Amino acid sequence: DAGITQSPRHKVTETGTPVTLRCHQTENHRYMYWYRQDPGHGLRLIHYSYGVKDTDKGEVSDGYSVSRSKTEDFLLTLESATSSQTSVYFCAISDPKMRTGSLLGGYNEQFFGPGTRLTVL
C-alpha cells in the first residue's frame, strides 16, 4: 500500500472555527488531491496540487484553501467551518508517467489515504 496518512482521523468542531486537515505521503508522488465524500455524490474534488506550491481548484473549492510547502505534505484548511462541510475527507496521490511527446499525466491510478471524518456542529 502507498504510504499515505491523514490527520486527524476524526474531528468534531463548531461552526465558525478554523480547521486544518493534513495529508502526508512517503511515496514522493508529484500530484496530490483532496476530495470530500458525501452520500449520493461519490467523491468530489476540492483542490489538487501538481507540485510544491502549485495548487488549483477542483469542483467544490468554495470555503476551502490548501497549501503545499513540501512534496510530502498537503494541507486542507476550512477557514470558517460550516455545517455543510460535515463530510469525510480523503487525500489521494498519483504520479505522472510521461508519454512520449506529451506533457500530460499518464494513466496511472490514484492512491487514497484512510480519510478524516469531520463533523461541524
Partner 1 sequence: AQSVTQLGSHVSVSEGALVLLRCNYSSSVPPYLFWYVQYPNQGLQLLLKYTTGATLVKGINGFEAEFKKSETSFHLTKPSAHMSDAAEYFCAVRTVLTSYGKLTFGQGTILTVHP
43 binds partner 1 (CB under 8 A): yes
- Which one of residues 40, 53, 100, 101 is an interface residue with partner 1 (CB under 8 A)? 40
| Whole-angstrom distance, CA of residue 72 vs CA of residue 9 | 18
Closest CA to 31 of 1, 56, 13: 56
105 binds partner 1 (CB under 8 A): yes
How many Cβ atoms are within 10 Å of 19's Cβ, its own excluded? 19
Smallest distance, Å, CB 15 to partner 1?
25
- Counting Cα atoms < 13 Å in the Cβ hemisphere of 102 gives 9
**Which residues of the shown chain bind partner 1 in the complex (CB under 8 A)?**
4, 31, 33, 40-45, 48, 50, 56, 58, 90, 92, 94-96, 99, 102, 104-115
